[in-house]
Structure 1
Amino acid sequence: MNKKSITLKHLLINQQRQIGLKFYPDKVLQSLLKEIPGIKWSNTYSMAYLANTSANLNLIYHTFKGVALIDGRYFYLNRPMHNPVKEEYQYKFNKPRAAYTEGYKTCPKEFLQKLQLKKYSDSTARIYIGMFEGFINYYPDKDIQELGEDEIRDYLSYQVKLGRSDSMLNQIINSIKFYYEIVLGMPNRFYDIERPNAREKLPEVLSKEEVQRILTQTSNLKHRCILSTIYSAGLRISEVLNLKIKDIDSSRMMIRIEGAKGGKDRYTLLSNNLLEDLRCYYKKHKPKEFLFEGPDYGPYSSTSIRKILKRSCLKAGIRKGVKPHTLRHSFATHLLEQGTDLRSIQTLLGHNNLTTTEIYTHVANTAMNTIKNPLD
């Protein structure tokens, strides 16, 4: 027979810190629970709770001693970390800020540890850390443990007044949710924060002729290879930066993408025209590990790629707001327009959900070309 178990959770109810007790329905445990003074039931969290005091914590252990195992893994946040934050990881995100801003509060080590263990990308980690530190530093005189739902709402209202975009507001909410739900292990209904209404914004897409004009105006071989790789393989900018020489599989005419968004690997297309340019580029530049290397033989700079694309667009006379991701959108749209099925496009792009890929059906001109304009 399995031993009974009770999991302790941190709760915040009516701005008061509580100890949550979660367990499978059991008559013995329920009977003992009733003997604890001040015990209450939360329908919101579907668990019993009582005030978070050391006396009550001791009472819980005393009441269930020999009857149930008390699981405190989500409760004791200051326990020694089995996977301590790597020093370089901590320095990369925390120390630079703290060094030049007096009194600046940085993210707790537990926050960094969870980002590190879950293998969030550097860009996502920076966003989460930056957003969460903005939140906790908005209340300079309050300890992080004192911040609750009211403070979260007030902070979001302040950001709305500043005119923050819906995307930024969602990132702020995600970073706060990450702390309370993932780091602290609180239930995902810890607070009910309204998110901005999702707007159906269609991606900016170039025509095939416009893409060709951009590439033609990119005279530098290395720069042209970078833009051609993004477009012809439908890559995110982070994916092209992390490409290594070994990822180009010319025998199968495929490109391997390792550790993409969500930590997934996938294969995508390798263009014959691109392969010819890459071979010329390799002979000229002789990269060592990364396909497109910076001055220090590390990955190329994302800022440099954006500047390259901007210059080429100006030379090509394209006035649209073209970004590296526009080339990825154009890749997917052009595949759809030439008859490639959505499932294949989903696989090439690395989308988790087909619904994400379906956005391109709204920008592809496949159906529009069959409709005769009444003016004509």
Structure 2
Amino acid sequence: MEALERFNFKPGTHCRQKVIFIQFEKDPELIKQVKSVEGTRWSTRKRVWYIADTPENRQFFNLEQIRQTSKEAETELQKFKAHLFSRRYSPNTVKTYTDALRSFLLFNNEKEVSTITNDDFIHYNTHYILKNNLSSSYQNQIVNAIKLYFKTVQEKNLDIEKVHRPRREKNLPNVLSKEEVKAILEAHNNIKHKAMLSLIYSCGLRRSELLSLRLTDIDSKRNIVIIKQSKGKKDRITPLSPKILPLLRAYYIDYKPKVWLFEGKQPRSMYSEQSLQHVLKQALAKAYIKKPVTLHWLRHSYATHLLESGTDLRYIQELLGHNSSRTT
């Protein structure tokens, strides 16, 4: 693996086995590197990559002695995590922020946390963030996490503004043509897979929103889908296409889900994100689409196709659940 310094390795246990957890920025290239190593696995429950803790694997990763955060740092990380949960941050944000803070504390492992100063953060920015060419979004997440930790847990202010944040990247969203979307939605013969992808596109749903839908969230009489406690703890309503309703009814007759609209192999269990990604991957292969399409591309395409057909931007904003029209 290249650029090992961009990975944090932490020994632990998973399913009663000794493993090495591999933590890193959410980056497609880094994910590709990890997946290329034989024996690596993704833990859906812990949401982290891991590999068996063996002498061979330690040697492969050049881990003669895995660097671990001090006991004091681990205590501070737990305090920070408890604070984030008490403030009702989402589990994903809690994980992202604590991982970012762990990286910073590990970099300053030789110092007591209470003695860390602005100079330490500037040094970390120069010799870790910039050296490893981390993405601008991840850099900002690290800065936000460290700033929040010292303000709330340590109750002291680091002058974060002395560290120049990267300019926010302004990338155009990835959008599929209507013909490409149609090919993807019609690729599967399995009615469950077809229904999941169709609902994501026709309602502009996030992946987590689709998987969190319950049977009671589909109001067939009013032709709406009720999306509860989505990103930002917000509820919203989106129209249900008349073309999708017969598909959902046929799916329900075949599968008879009990609680969640789309359930896993075990009754009453939520369908996994990994399985949903695989459903899309299969559809792309069957439709002969070579683009690196993600589930979020379907949401982008939904919004763009509405805009191209003359739908008001403010209405699209409400459908997507955005706070600001600038985001839309």
* 2:85 maps to 1:116: yes
**Structure 1 residues 102 and 137: CA distance shift in structure 2, 3 A:** closer
**Mapping for residues 121-270 of structure 1, pairs under 5 Å:** 121-157=90-126, 158-186=128-156, 191-270=161-240
**Structure 1 residues 145 and 327: CA distance shift in structure 2, 3 A:** same
SS of the counterpart of 2:222?
coil
Residue identity over aligned pairs, in percent, reads 42
Distance (Å, rounded) in 2 between the aligned partners of 1:153 and 1:190: 9
Q: Aligned residue pairs: how many? A: 263
The partner residue of 1:300 within 235, 247, 271 is 271
**Mapping for residues 39-78 of structure 1, pairs under 5 Å:** none
**Mapping for residues 348-359 of structure 1, pairs under 5 Å:** 348-357=319-328
Distance (Å, rounded) in 2 between the aligned partners of 1:260 and 1:225: 20
Greater displacement, 151-160 / 209-218: 151-160
Distance (Å, rounded) in 2 between the aligned partners of 1:173 and 1:145: 18
SS of the counterpart of 2:327?
helix
Distance apart, 1:129 and its partner CA: 1.4
Distance apart, 1:348 and its partner CA: 0.4
Distance (Å, rounded) in 2 between the aligned partners of 1:283 and 1:339: 36
Distance (Å, rounded) in 1 between the aligned partners of 2:158 and 2:240: 42
SS of the counterpart of 2:226?
strand
Distance (Å, rounded) in 2 between the aligned partners of 1:217 and 1:202: 27
Distance apart, 1:194 and its partner CA: 1.5
Distance apart, 1:258 and its partner CA: 1.0
Distance (Å, rounded) in 1 between the aligned partners of 2:116 and 2:223: 54
Deviation digits for residues 179-235 of structure 1, max 9, x if unmatched? 123444545856532111112100100111110100111222111111111111111
In structure 2, stretches of 5+ residues that fail to align are: 1-44, 54-65
Partners of 2:117 and 2:158 within 8 A in 1 = no
Deviation digits for residues 95-143 of structure 1, max 9, x if unmatched? x99xx87744435333122221222222222111111111111222222
Partners of 1:233 and 1:268 within 8 A in 2 = yes
**Structure 1 residues 186 and 352: CA distance shift in structure 2, 3 A:** farther
In structure 1, stretches of 5+ residues that fail to align are: 1-91, 358-376
Q: Normalising by the residue count of structure 2, what TM-score does the alignment of the two structures yield? A: 0.74
Q: CA RMSD in A?
A: 2.3
Equivalent position amino acid for 2:102 in 1: E
Distance (Å, rounded) in 1 between the aligned partners of 2:155 and 2:289: 49
Partners of 2:263 and 2:271 within 8 A in 1 = yes
Distance (Å, rounded) in 2 between the aligned partners of 1:179 and 1:242: 30
**Structure 1 residues 223 and 170: CA distance shift in structure 2, 3 A:** same
SS of the counterpart of 1:319?
coil
SS of the counterpart of 2:225?
strand
Distance (Å, rounded) in 1 between the aligned partners of 2:157 and 2:106: 24
Aligned to 1:280: 250
Equivalent position amino acid for 2:204 in 1: G
Aligned to 1:66: none
**Structure 1 residues 185 and 292: CA distance shift in structure 2, 3 A:** farther
Equivalent position amino acid for 2:280 in 1: L
Distance apart, 1:336 and its partner CA: 0.6
**Structure 1 residues 266 and 111: CA distance shift in structure 2, 3 A:** same
* 2:299 maps to 1:323: no
Distance (Å, rounded) in 2 between the aligned partners of 1:242 and 1:293: 10
